[in-house]
Amino acid sequence: MPQHAPPSSKPLPEVLIVGAGIGSLTLAILLEQLNIPYHIFERAAEVKPLGSAMSFGGHIFPAFEQLGIHKELVQVSKPYTKIDFFNANCKSIGTHDVQSIKDATGYDLLAFSRPSLYEILRKRVPAHKIHFRKKVLRTEEKEGRVIIHCSDNSAYSGDILVGADGAHSGVRQSLYRRLSEEGSIPKSDLEGFSIGYTTIVGVATPANPEKYPQLKEENSTFNQILYDDNCNCYIITLPDNQISWGFGTQLPKATLKEMQFRNSEWSPESSDSMLKEYRDWPCPLGGTMGEIFDATPKDLISKVFLEEKIFTTWYHSRTVLLGDACHKLHPAGGQGAANAIKDAIVLANCLYSMVDISPESITAAFKDYYRQRYSRAEEAFKRSVLMAKVLNGHKWTEKFARNVFLNHQPGWLVKGSLYKAYADRPQIAWLPLIENRGNGPVIPQENRKDDECKNESAQKTKCL
């Protein structure tokens, strides 16, 4: 069982968390460890972890190992070492080798379903601390407290408000309105998202798994197919005879303007016309895509517009943002949920380092959180933008870049790029640190206390 932080004699802040996503649950688990009082407010009546396959590497797993989560995730995952690319006729056009990620971190790269991870995290959060049907309409600060006002006319107050309510965060919008009225927010933060793709995803469970022998393999089969009409598809085999799939379409500029005000949250909205269009297309696992669609529960098929944006204002006074609320990444880079978890880890570390709950201490903690996370989230954002173009793009320049990336890129360059991307592995500051098991560099751990590092040194545990 994971250890907890030692009891604290200093006052503890009351934390309000808006949104019950993966980043929110991670933060809640960490606040449980610190005995910091908190409550989660979720606008939905229940949370359905829609989406498709997810993938994590060693930049998350040291912290998961500290919490005892890593072993559970391994049990519901499959490792993979490469991504195979095909053209519209399912003929190979190249392979992206990701073995260097394991070399760098010492952990397998794992593929798993989003619901599997969500359930692992959710069961660690007491049910009475998650409040559903709580859509936040506005926030305010009054008499040294931050207050959220919900659509059911309820209101709640605390010392700290964490906006982790997605790309169209109500907390962020309310905060930005106040800052805009004061003239103290960059104009770029008030501009819309960049939207380049729309996608439809699901997880199939074939009635006859014998039809797909790849399901029996120990490693996940990770395939990416690029069709000829601005469309791409991925197929990933998962444990329990599941097949994760997704179809993405690169949108023309004329369409993008119409999308600027569309809500991009994952939702099972009507996708029948899109599915009909792709039914007869070949599946790299065998048969047609229609057979995969038919094996997918209809209420778990979701459609989303893939938006991109990183905001520069992450906090003000008693309010701080986390995950998609402050950086929305294209999933091509596989970094969205991972960066939300990193946000939660670093924010919890900064709250752990607070000397008291005065406004000055809260601001100092938020400032430290921003200092540690913004530049690294920005790097992940840039990588995701680039990977979306290289792996999914249909322009001739993008096709050329993809061919070079898959077939002509020197091994040392691939290795160096992955080593740099996976150097950011934040761990939980108050728990014994996990040694670096790989041969790649690691960004030094922050928010450790001198006495903790001395104790670990005596126990021959490396402080990274």
pTM: 0.89
Strands (DSSP E) along 69-125, which ranges?
78-79, 82-86, 92-97, 110-113
| pLDDT at position 193 | 75
Cβ contacts of residue 242 below 8 Å, gap of 6+?
113, 203, 204, 205
* Residue 116, phi then psi, degrees to nearest 5: -65, -45
Count CB neighbours of 275 within 10 A: 20
The partner residues of 222 in beta bridges, in order of sequence, read 236
Helix (H) or strand (E) holding 414: helix 411-421
User: What does the alpha-carbon distance between residue 191 and residue 142 come to, in Å, rounded to a whole number?
Assistant: 28
| pLDDT at position 178 | 93
* Residue 261, phi then psi, degrees to nearest 5: -110, 15
User: What does the alpha-carbon distance between residue 410 and residue 416 come to, in Å, rounded to a whole number?
Assistant: 10
Q: What tens-digit pLDDT sequence spans the chain (464 residues)?
A: 455 666 666 789 999 999 999 999 999 999 999 999 999 999 998 876 666 788 998 899 999 999 999 999 999 999 999 989 888 888 888 888 888 889 899 999 999 988 899 999 999 999 999 999 999 999 999 999 999 999 999 999 999 999 999 988 999 999 999 999 999 999 999 988 766 667 888 899 987 888 999 999 999 999 988 876 667 888 999 999 999 998 877 655 544 445 444 444 545 455 677 788 888 888 889 999 899 999 998 877 887 777 789 999 999 999 999 999 999 887 655 677 999 999 999 999 999 999 999 999 999 999 999 999 999 999 988 887 777 666 666 677 777 777 767 776 777 677 777 788 889 999 999 999 999 999 999 999 999 875 555 455 434 333 33
| Ramachandran area for residue 323 (φ above 0: left; ψ -120 to 50: alpha; else beta) | left
Domains of the chain in start order, with CATH, are 15-79+108-191+308-458 (3.50.50.60), 194-307 (3.30.9.30)
Q: 228-255 in b/e burial notation, b at 16+ Cβ within 10 A?
A: eebbbbbbbbbeebbbbbbbbbbbeeee
